[in-house]
Amino acid sequence: MTHTMRIVAMQKEQIGDLNKTNEPFLLFGRLVPTFHDDVWSFTEELFEMPSETKFPDDRIDCEAYISQPDKIIYLAYADDICIGQIRLVKQWNKYCYVENLAVCQAYRQSGIGRQLFRKAEAWAKERGLLGITLEAQDDNLAACRFYQKMGMALGGVDTMRHAFNLNIDKALFWYLKF
């Protein structure tokens, strides 16, 4: 059975779909960054015991993203079911910041994340932005691998950003320059 796939800018009547993409994901390893001669590199460390986690539901003013020049939420649909989202904001440094990228479990590894990311690239380029940036946690190895596949480079590490969360050691900042 084939699905009709579409990606649309979120409208008021779709606000209820935003958190439908917030499903559990597997933490199976971490990215271990090193900084040497002004260049970031990294290795991977796989966990002996993978675990599942889930981000809390977003509690944002969704209407503030509708029909705005400097922010947008794109939703991906298979037929009429919301299966993915990407939330974008134009930053002060002329980068497009990805606030969130999520795909429902049943649709992961199917190209939906790639399509959403390409939509973000097009949105950023239409606005004359310099590239895309985002934060991923070091223990979300699947996300880190995905961002690498999308051509992003590790541009910085913050060891204090998630000091309150014993599970997250480092916040990793990824960049794609156009």
Per-residue pLDDT of the chain (178 residues; tens, 9 = 90+): 567 899 999 999 999 999 999 999 999 999 999 999 999 999 999 999 999 998 888 889 999 999 999 999 999 999 999 999 999 999 999 999 999 999 999 999 999 999 999 999 999 999 999 999 999 999 999 999 999 999 999 999 999 998 888 777 899 999 999 9
**In this structure, are residues 171 and 157 in contact, taking their beta carbons and an 8 Å threshold?**
yes
- Compute the CA torsion angle 153, 158, 163, 169 (nearest 10 deg): 50
146, two tokens: 């995905």
pLDDT at 131: 98
Question: What is the 8-class DSSP label of residue 118?
Answer: H
Closest CA to 176 of 137, 127, 141, 125: 125
The CATH number of the structural domain formed by 1-22+57-129 is 3.40.630.30
Q: pTM for the complete prediction?
A: 0.94
The residue type found at 80 is D
pLDDT at 1: 54
Radius of gyration of the chain (CA): 16
Residues of the chain with CATH 3.40.630.30: 1-22+57-129, 30-49+131-178
pLDDT at 2: 63
pLDDT at 13: 96
Q: Provide the phi-psi class of 19: left if phi over 0, else alpha when psi is between -120 and 50, else beta.
A: alpha
- Specify whether domain 30-49+131-178 bears CATH 3.40.630.10: no
> Which residue intervals of 67-135 are DSSP H helices?
112-126
pLDDT at 162: 86
The CA distance from 27 to 159, in Å, is 19
